[in-house]
Each structure stands twice: as C-alpha cells, then as structure tokens.
C-alpha cells in the first residue's frame, strides 16, 4: 500500500489515460444505435449500458451478449430490480481489446436490428 501511494502516480496516470480512451471508443461505437444508451461514467471503470430499447427480458439480454456478441457483462439485475434492462461493462483493458469487444458488440447489434425489421 505504501508503494502505491509513494510510487504509483505514473501507473495511475496511465490507467486514467486508458480509461478515457476506452470511454471515448465506447461512446463513438454506440453513438449511432438507438438500442443502447450509456449512463454517465462516474469515477469508475464500469460503464452502465441501458439496453431497454432492445425490449428483451433480462435472461434474453444476457444470452444475446454472451452468445451473439461473445461478451461477458455484469447483469444489471444483480444490483436490484432497477437494473432490469441494463448491463455493466468493464472498460479497464487495453484499447486493442476494447476495440475488438466493441466491434463484436456493434456487429451483433446490427444483426439484431436487421432481424427486427
């Protein structure tokens, strides 16, 4: 703990830079879809995705992300009934990993939209 407080500033600055990059990548990737809205990021590396416009039951929503997008999100319902229709996404990863995840996410959303038409 002492080392983190005395020598961790460079690491923390790097982490904050990566989180800012990944937040921006996510905002840009999801800007054109009405299916997911992003809740403001409040001092953490976990983004809340409001997926209620997909009109899926929570289990269907979680299955969609796991099976179609091949992404593991935290189920919003774990945080209470108000979390229904939401998932939580961890953005604390290298930007290359984030880009790959967002590509899978946006491709699966395009397929979802096409199937709904």
Would you list the domain boundaries of the chain?
A: 2-116
Bridge partners, residue 49, by sequence: 38, 87
- 89 sits in the region (left: phi over 0; alpha: psi -120 to 50; else beta) called beta
The per-residue pLDDT for range 18-76, each reduced to its tens digit, is 999 999 999 999 999 999 999 988 888 999 999 999 999 999 999 999 999 999 999 99
Residue 80 tokens read as 């209470």
Residue 92 tokens read as 């604390």
Q: How confident is the model at residue 11 (pLDDT cuts 50, 70, 90)?
A: confident
**If you classify domain 2-116 with CATH, what class do you get?**
alpha beta
Query: Residues 41, 39, 92, 23: is their CA dihedral positive or negative?
Result: negative
């Amino acid at each position: 703990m002492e080392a983190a407080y005395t020598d961790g500033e460079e690491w923390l600055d790097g982490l904050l830079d990566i989180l800012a990059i990944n937040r921006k990548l996510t905002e840009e990737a999801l800007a054109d879809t009405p299916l997911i809205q992003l809740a403001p990021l409040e001092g953490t590396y976990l983004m809340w995705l409001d997926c209620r416009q997909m009109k899926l039951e929570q289990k269907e929503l979680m299955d969609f992300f796991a099976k179609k997008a091949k992404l593991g999100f935290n189920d919003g319902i774990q945080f209470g009934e108000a979390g229904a229709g939401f998932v939580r996404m961890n953005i604390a990863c290298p930007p290359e990993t984030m880009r790959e995840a967002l590509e899978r996410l946006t491709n699966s959303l395009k397929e979802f939209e096409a199937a709904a038409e």
